[in-house]
Structure 1
Amino acid sequence: MLTRNLNTFIHYLKNIDLRKRFTFMRLQFTGISFLLALAFYCPAFAQRSAAEYFEDGNTKAGTGDFNGAMQAYTTVISMNPDHAPSYFNRGLAKANLKDYRGAMGDYDRAIELNPKEALYYQSRGVSKSLQDDYRSAIDDYSKAIELNPEEPKAYYNRGVSYAKLKNHRNALVDLDHALSLNPDELAALYARGNCKQDLQEYAGSLADFTRVIELSPKRTGAYAGRGLAKLELGDYQGAAADFTRAIELSPNDSEYYNNRGLAKTKLEDFQGAILDYDKTIQLDAENYNAYYGRGFAKGKLNDPRGAIADLSKAIEVKNAYTGDPKKNAYIGKINKEKLDELRDQVQTNIKIDKLTNERAEAYYARAIAKSKVGELKGALADLTIAVELSPTYSNAYFSRAMIRSAAGDQMGAVLDFTSSIKLRSDYPEAYYLRGIVKNSLGEINDGCLDLSKAGELGYQQAYKVIGAYCN
C-alpha cells in the first residue's frame, strides 16, 4: 500500500482582550493525511481495471493533481459504486480543491458504506471545521475517537474546535490527551499554549511555547506567544527579547512591533516604545492599539498635544461605538424587523427593591413606567441617573439597553448589556439580547456564542434563534 502525506491546514487568529493591548495568536488544525486504501479486486473495464484507475488517482493525488485524481476515483466509482475508499479519496481530493461541501458528500457516502472507519469521520470533521461548523465537527471527531481512541490528531482537532467555541476547559482536556499520546507534537503544544493563555494559566503557557521553540527554533508564533505570557507574568525584558526574535523571523508583522512597544512601555523605555509603535502604524495604519500605546508614551514624555492626537485616533479608528448611534448597518442574519420582534418578546420580571438613600431604585421604577407609555427619552434619562447613583445596578443597565435598542441605538445597547453581564454573570436574558443585537450588526459568531450561553443558563428561546440564524 502506498502512503503519501498531503496535509491540509486551517489557521485562525485569536484576539486577546483588547484592553491588554496585544492581539495576535494562532492555532492550527492538523490536516488529515491522504489515505491510500488497499488495492481491491474489480473486473476489467475497457483496457484498464478499476484497481489501475484507483492507483492512477493515488499517483495524481501524490503529485498535487487533485483534479486528475478526482476524475480517476470517479471512474472507479462508476465501475464499483460501493467502494468506500474511492469515495473517501475523492472527498480528500475535493477538500484539497477547497470544495468542502462536495468533500462532505463523498465522506457521507464512504461512512454509509463503511461506518467503522475512524478516519472517514475525522476527515469529515475537518471539512466541517473548514466551514466553521465546529459543533458538528466535534460530533465527528468524537465518533472517530470512539472508533480509534489512540489517534492523537482526533483529540487535537476536537480540542481546537472546542477552543474556537471558547470552551477552553474541554479544549485543554483534549489537548492534554493528544499530547499524552504524542508528547512532542508541535501543533498540539502550540495550541495548548494558546489555550492556557485564554485560561490565564500563563506559566503553563510559557512552558508549552518554550518546548515548541526547543523543538522548532524558527517557529515565529511560539516566540510571540511566549512573549505574551512573559508580559502577563511581569517579565518585560524577556517579553521584549521574544518579540525581537519574532520580528527577526517575520519583520513585516505589525503586531510583534506593537507588543514589543508594550513591553518597552512597561519598562518605561518610552522613546523605544514610540519607535516600535511608529513601525506598527507604518505597517498597519489602522492599528488603534498602537495609537493608544504611542499616545500614552508621548504623554509620559511631556508631549500632551501629540498624546491627544494619538489617543483621539485610538478612539476613532475602526470603532463601531462612536459616531451616530442610530446609523446602524443591519448586515447580519437577523434584520431590524426581526430584531425588534425578538427583543419585544422578552419579558422582564420587575421586582421591588429596597429603597436606598440615593433612591436609584425609584428612578429605575419610574423609568420602567415611562417606557410603557412611550416616554423613551425620559426613561433613558431616569435610567442614566439610576446607574450614576448606583453603578452596580445590573437591572438598570439591562433596561437601558432594551430602551436603547428599541430607539435604534444598537451599539449603546450592546455596551449596556455587557455592563449588566459584568455585574451579573448568570443573566440569561442579557446574553440572549446581546446575542441577537450582535447578530443583527454582523457580529454573527460572537452573537451566536452569546445565544449559546443564554441557552446554557436556561433561556430555551435561545436555541430556536440558534437553529434559525446560527447554522
Structure 2
Amino acid sequence: MKNYTFMNLRLLSIPFLIAILFLPLFSFGQRSAAEYFEEGNTKARASDFAGALQAYSVVISINADHAPSFFNRGLAKANLKDHRGAILDYDRAIEINPKEALYYQSRGVSKSMQEDYRAAIQDYTRGIELNPDDSKSYYNRGVSYAKLDNHRSAMADLDKALVLDPSDVAAYYARGNCKQHLHEYAGSLSDFSKVIEMSPKRAGAYAGRGSAKIELNDFQGAAADFTRAIELSPNEAAYYDKRGFAKNKIEDYKGAISDYDKTLQLEPENYQAYYGRGFSKNKLNDQKGAILDLTKAIELKNTYVADPKKIQYAGPINKTILDELRNQVKEHVKIDDLTTERAEAYFIRGISKSKSGDSRGALLDISTAVELNPTYADAYFSRGLIKSSIGDQMGAVLDFSSSIKLKTNFPEAFYLRGIIKHSLGEVNEGCLDLSKSGELGYMPSYKVISTYCN
C-alpha cells in the first residue's frame, strides 16, 4: 500500500515522498496501524495537521520503529510551526532509515526555520549525497549559505539549482539578492528581470531591480521599479523609503517628502526616512523642518547617544504577555477521596482562597497538601500557577517540573513551564516544552509556538 507524505512549508519547498507502510496490522481500538497511518495522511492533505499528528502518534505507539510515521509527524509539527518538535521526529526517522534523502532535506528546512543554518547545510549536503539531482536541495543549501553571508557558496549552489531546473523562479530571485551582496549589480538586475518576466506580479523582484538600478545610477528607472512594487504591495514601508531616495537623487524633493511621509506613516520609527525627509526639506529651504527631522534621525534608536542605564531589555514573552497566557489555562480540579491526612481538603481550600484573591493563604494550604502527600501532581501544578501569578517564576518552574515528573502526560504543565522558561530567556527549552504540550493534545501551544518560537 503506497501512502503519500505531505509538505506545505512555504519558505523552502520540499517535494512529495512515496512512503510504503510496513507495519504489523495489530488492532488498536479495533483499527489497524495502517488505517491510522492513512488517516494521518488524509488529515494532512486536508491541512488538519493537529489531527494528523495525533494519528501518526497512534501508529508510533504501536510500532516505535516506523520511520515514515516519525517523518510524517515531523512534517505535521513543521506545518504547525513547531520546528523544534519536528527536528526530534526527523532525528528518529533518520536513526531508523539513514538512507532517505528527503528526511535530511526536511530536517534541514526546520533547522533553517530555527536559524540554525550551519546544521541545515550539513543536512542538505547529506541529502545531495543521497540524491545529487534534486535541485531543491541545492536551492535550500544556497539560501542557508546566503543567510550566513557566504554568498559565493550560495551562488554556486543556486547556479547548480538553475542548471537542474531553469524554471525555478525562487532560485533566480535568491541569486539576484546574492549578486547584490557581492556588488554584482548588473547581474543582479538581470536575475530580477528574469523573475519579473516569469512572475510579473512579484513586488520584491521590482524592488530588487530598483535597488540594483540605484547602485547603477539609474535613479529614474529605480523610481519606476519602486512605483510598480508599491502598486503590487502598497503597505511596504521600505519601498516608499527607497523611492524617496531615488527621487532625492533626481531632485524631486517634494515627491521625496511625500514618499517619506508615507514611510513614516507605516513605520513611525524609521530613522532613515527622517534623514531623507530632512535632506529634502533642507533642499527646499525649510530649515526648521529639516532640523527637526534630522534631530529625529540622529536620536531615534541610536545607542551612541542613549543612556545605557535607561535601556531596558525584555524578551518577546514579557510579564504582561506571560500573565495573559497563563490566565487562559483552566485548572481541571476534580474531587478525590478524602484521605486520613486531609491533603485533598487543604488543596481545595487553597484553590478557593486563590480564587478569592488570598494568594498567601492559598500557598500555605496547597503547600500543606504537598507536605501531606508528596505525590500530589495537581497540587504542585496549582501551586505553580499561584507562584507564577505573584512573580515567583523560578518557583513555578520547579512546581511544574514536579507535576510533570509525577504525571508525565500533563500537557498544561508542559505548556506553563514552557511559556515561563521562554519568558526567562530559556527560549529553546521553553519551545521544546510547548512542543511536547502540543504533542500531548493541548492545541493552544501551537498558537504560542507560531508567535514566539520562530
Q: Under TM normalisation by the shorter chain, which class is it?
A: 0.5 to 0.7
CA distance in 2, matches of 1:63, 1:156: 28
1:34 Cα deviation (Å)?
5.4
Q: How does 1:139-178 map to 2 (within 5 A)?
A: 139-178=122-161
**Amino acid in the other structure paired with 2:84:** R
CA distance in 1, matches of 2:5, 2:221: 41
Residue number in structure 2 paired with 1:133: 116
- Whether the 8 Å CA contact 1:88–1:110 is kept in 2: the answer is yes
1:204 Cα deviation (Å)?
0.8
- Whether the 8 Å CA contact 2:74–2:87 is kept in 1: the answer is yes
1:249 Cα deviation (Å)?
0.9
Residue number in structure 2 paired with 1:42: 24
- Whether the 8 Å CA contact 1:8–1:30 is kept in 2: the answer is yes
Residue number in structure 2 paired with 1:278: 261
Matching of residue 91 in structure 1 with residue 74 in structure 2: yes
Structure 2 length-normalised TM: 0.66
Residue number in structure 2 paired with 1:112: 95
Question: What root-mean-square deviation, in Å, do the aligned CA atoms of Structure 1 and Structure 2 show?
Answer: 2.0
Label 1:2 to 1:50 Cα distance change in 2 as closer, same or farther (>3 A). closer
Given candidates 136, 143, 166, the residue that maps to 1:183 is 166
Q: Deviations over 1:342-379 (max 9, x none)?
A: xxxxxxxxxxxxxxxxxxxxxxxxxxxxxxxxxxxxxx
1:244 Cα deviation (Å)?
0.5
Matching of residue 307 in structure 1 with residue 290 in structure 2: yes
Residue number in structure 2 paired with 1:420: none
CA distance in 1, matches of 2:147, 2:198: 26
1:330 Cα deviation (Å)?
7.6
Structure 1 length-normalised TM: 0.64
Residue number in structure 2 paired with 1:70: 53
Label 1:191 to 1:180 Cα distance change in 2 as closer, same or farther (>3 A). same
1:44 Cα deviation (Å)?
3.9
Given candidates 294, 300, 319, the residue that maps to 2:302 is 319
CA distance in 2, matches of 1:150, 1:62: 27
Given candidates 197, 218, 229, the residue that maps to 1:235 is 218
1:6 Cα deviation (Å)?
3.3
1:4 Cα deviation (Å)?
6.7
CA distance in 1, matches of 2:230, 2:305: 33
Residue number in structure 2 paired with 1:19: none
- Whether the 8 Å CA contact 1:45–1:79 is kept in 2: the answer is no
Residue number in structure 1 paired with 2:43: 60
1:80 Cα deviation (Å)?
2.1
SS in 2 for 1:311: helix
Given candidates 18, 28, 32, the residue that maps to 2:14 is 32
CA distance in 2, matches of 1:323, 1:68: 50
**Amino acid in the other structure paired with 1:8:** L
- Whether the 8 Å CA contact 1:4–1:33 is kept in 2: the answer is no
**Amino acid in the other structure paired with 1:104:** I
Q: How does 1:63-462 map to 2 (within 5 A)?
A: 63-324=46-307
1:285 Cα deviation (Å)?
1.2
**Amino acid in the other structure paired with 2:20:** L
1:275 Cα deviation (Å)?
1.1
**Amino acid in the other structure paired with 1:37:** A
CA distance in 1, matches of 2:5, 2:213: 40
- Whether the 8 Å CA contact 1:35–1:89 is kept in 2: the answer is no
- Whether the 8 Å CA contact 1:30–1:187 is kept in 2: the answer is no
1:185 Cα deviation (Å)?
0.7
- Whether the 8 Å CA contact 2:7–2:75 is kept in 1: the answer is no
Q: Deviations over 1:142-190 (max 9, x none)?
A: 1111111111111111111111111111111111111111112111111
1:127 Cα deviation (Å)?
1.1
CA distance in 1, matches of 2:78, 2:218: 43
Residue number in structure 1 paired with 2:411: none
Q: Deviations over 1:319-359 (max 9, x none)?
A: 11113366666889xxxxxxxxxxxxxxxxxxxxxxxxxxx
Q: Deviations over 1:108-147 (max 9, x none)?
A: 1111111111110111111111111111111111111111
Label 1:110 to 1:170 Cα distance change in 2 as closer, same or farther (>3 A). same
Identity level (%): 69
1:194 Cα deviation (Å)?
0.8
SS in 1 for 2:121: helix
Q: Deviations over 1:77-107 (max 9, x none)?
A: 2222211111111111111112212111111
Q: Deviations over 1:207-254 (max 9, x none)?
A: 111111111111111111111011111111111111001111111111
CA distance in 2, matches of 1:4, 1:268: 57
SS in 2 for 1:247: helix
1:2 Cα deviation (Å)?
5.1
Residue number in structure 2 paired with 1:7: 8
CA distance in 1, matches of 2:300, 2:113: 31
SS in 2 for 1:37: strand
SS in 1 for 2:125: helix
CA distance in 1, matches of 2:240, 2:86: 40
Residue number in structure 1 paired with 2:333: none
Label 1:71 to 1:330 Cα distance change in 2 as closer, same or farther (>3 A). closer
CA distance in 2, matches of 1:259, 1:189: 22
Q: Which runs of 5+ in 2 are unaligned?
A: 316-424, 426-454
CA distance in 2, matches of 1:96, 1:325: 41
Label 1:79 to 1:330 Cα distance change in 2 as closer, same or farther (>3 A). closer
